[in-house]
Amino acid sequence: MLKITRPISADFLAGGGEMGALTRAYDWSATPLGKPDSWPQSLRTALRIVLNTNHPMFIWWGPELIQFYNDAYRQTMGPERHPSALGQRGRECWAEIWDVIGPQIEQVMSGGGATWHEKQLIPVTRYGRLEQVYWTYGYSPIDEDDSVGGVLVVCSDVTRDYLAAAALREREAELARVQQIGRIGGLEVDLTTGFRNRRSPEYLLIHGLPPDAANESHEDWVRRIHPDDRETTEQKFRDAVAGGVREYSVQYRIIRPSDGETRWISVKSTIERDAQGRAIRLVGAHSDVTEQVEADLALRQSEERFRRLADQLAELNATLAQRVEEKTRERDRIWNVSQDLLVVADRSGIWRTVNPAWTRTLGWSEAELLNRTSQWLEHPDDNGVTRAEVEKLGARETTVRFESRFRHKDGSYRWLSWTGVADRDHIYAVARDVTAERAAAERLKATEEALLQSQKMEAVGQLTGGIAHDFNNLLTGIVGSLDLLQTRLNQGRTDNVARYINAAMTSANRAAALTHRLLAFARRQPLIPKSVDANQLVVSLEDLLRRTIGETIDLAIVAPDDLWGTLCDPNQLESALLNLAINARDAMPDGGKLTISTANARLDSVTADTPALSPGDYICITVTDTGVGMSVEVAARAFDPFFTTKPIGQGTGLGLSMIYGFARQSNGHVTLDSKIGRGTSVRLYLPRHHGDGAAAHASAVRAAEHAATGETVLVVEDEPVVRGVILEMLGEQGFRTLEAVDGPSGLQILRDHERIDLLVTDVGLPGMNGRQLADQARETRPGLKILFITGYAESVAMADGFLQPGMEMITKPFDLEHLSQRIRAMISG
């Protein structure tokens, strides 16, 4: 507060430069203040001080806040206010900022005492435009009797200093972001004062030191080095300090105090020296390169890669301009020596700044890279994935270990691994050339695949013996029965003929079942998927299951009404359930309980129990027994082909492997849980289907009742015996038949005859296969119904979309009654 201690003469307006002259010439009698001779002594004293000082100052006086100011303040005003601001009321002069300064003035005028405001943003209109001006100013009360008569203002325009400081902070933040992205630890060592040092947060993190760790000595650093590297590393450091070099780099292992972990550190440093060449300071950059070193050692193919990054940090100079320049130099050092590829782009992905590592890695100059996006460098097969990552960064997401291919100037491509972040205006990214690492990984993958193929071939060898053994037994039964039948017929005897025929048929059917089980295990059994109501199917098997398991075993079926439908081959599902029931019966020789239950299952994620299933909706059929159970070793091999614990002659070891193959081929899965003495539980998962299984079943029953009325069936089969048997059966059923031995002759018949109700064709025809025949046939007969016959699941037959509407498939061998039912169902459908 300004106080008057002695009176001032009436010539208080003397001097004061231009503003003194303007003040003396002003007609004050027309203002609330009146003539200057009548002004209070405190106003006179304050005004004399203001007019005769070189610092910007002004006064607001009285309730109207009449305004006075000096030459120094006049220079900060634009022509919009000077000289009209002299004698003007403060609220009128500064109406545009009164909401900011008004409360501050009111505080002083009401006796609240002096105030001080630093770097206050005061938008001011000067020279015809609104400027964002930062002011540092103080308000002091001027006493008048026992109250406050006015306000003395001392101020300074600090806009230039404020903006310079903001620019420095932005550069420091950018440097910190680059260090954080690159995981670079900065270090500064004063070599003249006992090796005391200053370390960045990244350095503390890399070395396993606490964030609040104080400066450490040279000896502390040496103790942290791995014993095997300590002597060599310290000696190299001392040689660099004493040897007059300016650049110093090294790599060594440390044992981190925080967790005891051994890490590889790569160091790049600059040693500053005085005029006599003595080392006075070391500025260095530390990088944790453990992952790169360990990968190179494991693959033994990749060249050693370590990031060498120099981070030269210096104390800020006394003036703000010097501090900005020094920080800029430090950032440029990091930018230039980094072996990683650093880029700053705008939010649209246009490159604005790149470091020299781009030229070293890809050969393109800085001018060729800037002011364009990366699209021209990307591999055409990557389909713009880099652009998609840029858009994610624009949405404030972070890119970590994203990989893409960029074109070298010589035309080759390099694999780059990216890490990136974004702020409001820019995208900051670091890329690393991982071409060598990927090549090594591909070689490793090829080696693993070769090993896997070797294991598969070993498994095939194990299968061969079991297959040959079972088929030789079955063929012996067929050939022996037919040989005895031929002998009896040659003798003119018909006794026991039926027994020989039944024996041959039994062996043949067992051979067919064995083939189907093998194909199901290999996931090559052609399925005929239909919409199935699993509850209805399980209930329909109840009588058969009770007869199969015997009276000593209690059967319970739990089938909730809300079970979803599924899409699968119902015959294979019936066979799977029957196999599980037989296995359960054999596991309970003294009786027990067999439970078959169904339930809906919603899998939200992949689990350890169902690793082969994608998230989604499934039905689950569970078959549980109270039998003897399995050991962990037996359960682990339960789905292996030909693996069985049953006595010789009582099982082939293909039952569970067939179920596993059927489940996987149906896009489902099967799991087994068993414990010795506590029984076994098998869960069969099948995907949910929204079709109507009951309606499909009813339609099939109605179709099976169809009787032939002279419909024409074309049979295309290259095997004469098979073709003859099918034609004879169709003739006895009342169908009109046509035959062809291959695709071209069958196609000629299709083009010549007016009416053909059904085409029955083998898939594996010589030359033109069955599917090719069907496609060409439908060009002239779009609605033609087609039944394919196959002896095994060729890759073409198993491709998605092979069976189109109006097409079905039956697998060899088949009995004629089943073939007849399928043909009648298709013709009547």
Q: pLDDT at residue 560 above 80? A: yes
Q: If you average pLDDT over residues 156-173, what whole number do you get?
A: 77
pLDDT band for position 408 (cuts 50, 70, 90): very high
Q: Phi and psi for 198 in degrees, rounded to 5? A: -125, 135
pLDDT band for position 695 (cuts 50, 70, 90): very low
Q: If you average pLDDT over residues 447-469, what whole number do you get?
A: 53
In angstroms and rounded to an integer, the radius of gyration of the C-alpha atoms of the chain is: 47
Are both 164-323 and 340-433 of the same fold? yes
- Mean pLDDT (the chain) is 78
Pairwise CA distance, residues 367 & 365, whole Å: 5
The CATH architecture that domain 164-323 belongs to is 2-Layer Sandwich (3.30)
What are the boundaries of each domain within the chain? 17-157, 164-323, 340-433, 441-519, 524-691, 705-828
Q: pLDDT at residue 409 above 60? A: yes
Mean pLDDT is highest, among 291-305, 501-515, 730-744, 801-815, for 730-744
Q: How far apart are the first and last CA of the chain?
A: 107
pLDDT band for position 479 (cuts 50, 70, 90): low
Residue 248: per-residue pLDDT: 85
Reference 824, options 745, 729, 740, 742; nearest CA is 729
Residue 521: per-residue pLDDT: 44
Would you tell me how many other CB atoms lie within 10 Å of the CB of residue 336? Answer: 13
Taking CA atoms, 773 is separated from 471, 743, 800, in Å, by 33, 6, 18
Residue 637: per-residue pLDDT: 73
pLDDT band for position 516 (cuts 50, 70, 90): low
Q: What does the pLDDT look like over 374-391, one tens digit per residue?
A: 888 888 887 777 777 777
The CATH architecture that domain 705-828 belongs to is 3-Layer(aba) Sandwich (3.40)
Tokens, residue 377: 């460098």
Q: Which residue has the higher pLDDT, 158 or 554?
A: 554
Dihedral angle over CA of 512, 513, 518, 522, nearest 10: 100
Q: Which CATH superfamily is domain 524-691 in?
A: Histidine kinase-like ATPase, C-terminal domain (3.30.565.10)
Share of the chain above pLDDT 90, in %: 11
Taking CA atoms, 815 is separated from 588, 729, 820, in Å, by 34, 11, 9
Q: Which residue has the higher pLDDT, 554 or 221?
A: 554
Taking CA atoms, 47 is separated from 39, 57, 753, in Å, by 11, 10, 122
Reference 585, options 616, 638, 628, 525; nearest CA is 628
Burial call 213-228: b when 16+ CB within 10 Å, e when fewer: eeebebeebeebbeee
pLDDT band for position 121 (cuts 50, 70, 90): confident
Query: 340-433 has which fold?
Result: Beta-Lactamase (3.30.450)
Burial (0-12, 13-18, 19+ Cβ within 10 Å), 285: buried
Residue 801: per-residue pLDDT: 60
Q: What does the pLDDT look like over 64-74, one tens digit per residue?
A: 889 999 888 88
Q: pLDDT at residue 716 above 90? A: yes
Residue 702: per-residue pLDDT: 46
Residue 366: per-residue pLDDT: 86
Q: What does the pLDDT look like over 315-340, one tens digit per residue?
A: 434 455 566 566 656 666 777 777 78
Q: pLDDT at residue 793 above 50? A: no
Burial (0-12, 13-18, 19+ Cβ within 10 Å), 450: exposed
Q: What is the CATH code for 17-157?
A: 3.30.450.20
Reference 774, options 798, 741, 808; nearest CA is 808
pLDDT band for position 429 (cuts 50, 70, 90): confident
Q: If you average pLDDT over residues 179-197, what whole number do you get?
A: 71
Q: What does the pLDDT look like over 735-782, one tens digit per residue?
A: 899 999 998 999 999 888 778 999 999 988 888 888 899 999 998 898
Strands 712-716 and 736-740, how do they pair?
A: parallel
Q: pLDDT at residue 236 above 80? A: yes
Q: Phi and psi for 254 in degrees, rounded to 5? A: -125, 160
Residue 115: per-residue pLDDT: 86
Residue 701: per-residue pLDDT: 45
